[in-house]
Structure 1
C-alpha cells in the first residue's frame, strides 16, 4: 500500500486515488501537468467525524496558514478534543485560540449535537452525498461548504465539487483561465471533464496554489 508522508503522517491512499489520477491525466491537459508535480502525495482523511467538522469550521473563510495555527492552539488548549472536553473548555478559551466568538459558539453547538446524539454519525457512510449535506447543514455554523469538506476529508467521497470554495475557484482561474475571473458556471463546465473524480481534481488545484498541505 502506498502511504503519504505529508507532515510526517502516514495514511492509506483513498481507494479511488490511483485510478482517478490516471483518468484525469488522460482526459485533462491541465491535470496531466499538475498531478506529476506532487508525486505520491494524496488526500489524507480524518477518521473522527467530530474533529473533521470542527476543523472545517475553523477553516471557514481564512487562509490555510491561519487555520492551521488556530487548530494547533485548539489542540494545545483541549488535547483530547472530544465533545465533552470541548464543552468543558468553554467559549472564552476556544476564542482565545484565535477563533472568532461566533466560531467558538459553532464548535460548542457541534459538541452538543454529538454529545447528545442529535446527529446520525454512524449512518453517514451509508448515506449519499446530498443526504449527508442535508443533515449537516441543520447544525448551527455548518454551511454547505463545511459539509462538502466533511464529505471530502472524512467520508473520502470521490466526486465532490465545492463551488463555494474560494481556493477551488482560484485554482480554476489560475490554471484554466490565465487568472481571469471565473463564474460558477465556468467552474461547472471545467469540472464536467473530471467526473466521477472531482474531489481529486479539486485537491490538486488546491495544492497548485498553496504549498501547505490541505487538511
Structure 2
C-alpha cells in the first residue's frame, strides 16, 4: 500500500468536484470523508483502485492519494483526471471582468475534472446522446453493472473487447434503442480491432480528432466535443448545440428564448481561450 500527499496551487474547490462527481451513480464518492475512489487499469488492463481524499481547503488545497500498486502511473493519471497542474487562478483572472463574471465568482475554484478513461468517456457520451440526464445515468449504470467489473466497491466499465463481443440484443434487453446498441458495440469493435486508437489520438489537435471520430457511425460533433472536453480536458471548447448551455445562457442573460447560434458566438467572444471553463461554469449554474 502506498500513500502520497499532494499540494497544489489555489484556488481549487474539491468539495464542488465531489458534488459534481456524485451526480453520476457509478462514481464511488464519500462526501462526509471528502473522498473519491478512482477505477484504473495497469498495463495488462488489470483493474485497481486509487483513493483521493481532500485534506486542505479551497485556498490551501492538499490531498492524500493512496493505492495498492502502480504508484507512479497512478499518480500521473490522478494529476491528469483532476487537472492539478492547471492554474485556475489564470482562469478566474480572465473572467473577472467578463459578462459571466458573477457565475465565475460563485463557482470560484471549480476545476475541469475529466472522466476516468477515454473509452469510458466515449461510451458515456454515446449512451447519453439525446436522453434526459436521469435516464442517461440509468442506462449507463445498467450497462456497467451488467458487463463491467466490481473491484473493492468500485465499478469499472467493461473493456472494449468485451463489449465488441456482445450481440445488439444484449443491450436491447437493457432498454437501449436499436441504433444506440449498434453505435456502442460497433464503436467498441473498431477500438478492440485497433482501427481506432484513442491513445494515439489524444495528442492530436482538436480538429484532427474531430475529423477522425465523426467517421464513426453514431459519433457526431456533440459527442466528439464532449470527449475533447471531459475526456482530454481541452481548454477552449464551446458546444453550442448543447441544450444545457443554451438554457444557462438564456437564464444568465435574461433572454425570453434560447439564444441563437450568432448570439452565442457573440456573447462568448471574450471567453476565449477558456471556453471549456465557461461551458462548465454555465452548466454548473443551472445544475
- Identify the TM-score tier after normalising by the shorter chain: 0.7 to 0.9
How many equivalent pairs are there?
208
Per-residue deviation, 1:92: 1.9
CA distance, structure 2, for counterparts of residue 179 and residue 206 of structure 1: 19
CA distance, structure 2, for counterparts of residue 40 and residue 68 of structure 1: 26
Task: Name whichever structure is richer in strand by fraction.
Answer: 2
Output aligned runs, 1:111-190, within 5 Å: 111-190=188-267
Change (3 A) 1:187 1:111: same
- Report the RMSD for the aligned CA atoms in angstroms: 1.9
CA distance, structure 2, for counterparts of residue 121 and residue 92 of structure 1: 26
Question: Secondary structure in 1 aligned to 2:195?
Answer: coil
- 1:72 pairs with 2:141: yes
Task: Name whichever structure is richer in helix by fraction.
Answer: 1
Per-residue deviation, 1:105: 0.6
Question: Secondary structure in 1 aligned to 2:124?
Answer: helix
**Which of these residues, 55, 79, 83, is aligned with residue 13 of structure 1?**
83
Kept in 2, the 8 Å contact 1:17–1:200? The answer is no
> Structure 2: 5+ residue runs without aligned partners?
1-7, 23-28, 30-35, 37-51, 53-80, 150-157
Kept in 1, the 8 Å contact 2:82–2:111? The answer is no
The one of the two structures with greater contact order (alpha-carbon pairs below 8 A, sep at least 6) is: 1
CA distance, structure 2, for counterparts of residue 70 and residue 16 of structure 1: 35
Question: Secondary structure in 2 aligned to 1:139?
Answer: coil
Output aligned runs, 1:175-214, within 5 Å: 175-210=252-287
Output aligned runs, 1:26-45, within 5 Å: 26-30=96-100, 32-38=101-107, 40-45=109-114
Larger C-alpha radius of gyration, 1 or 2?
2
CA distance, structure 2, for counterparts of residue 64 and residue 94 of structure 1: 19
> Structure 1: 5+ residue runs without aligned partners?
211-215
TM-score when normalising by structure 1 = 0.88
CA distance, structure 2, for counterparts of residue 28 and residue 190 of structure 1: 10
Q: Give the structure 1 partner of residue 67 of structure 2.
A: none
Per-residue deviation, 1:167: 1.3
Kept in 1, the 8 Å contact 2:166–2:185? The answer is no
CA distance, structure 2, for counterparts of residue 16 and residue 93 of structure 1: 44
39-48 vs 163-172, greater mean Cα deviation: 39-48
Kept in 2, the 8 Å contact 1:56–1:150? The answer is yes
The 4+ residue runs of structure 1 with deviation greater than 4 A are none
CA distance, structure 1, for counterparts of residue 104 and residue 174 of structure 2: 35
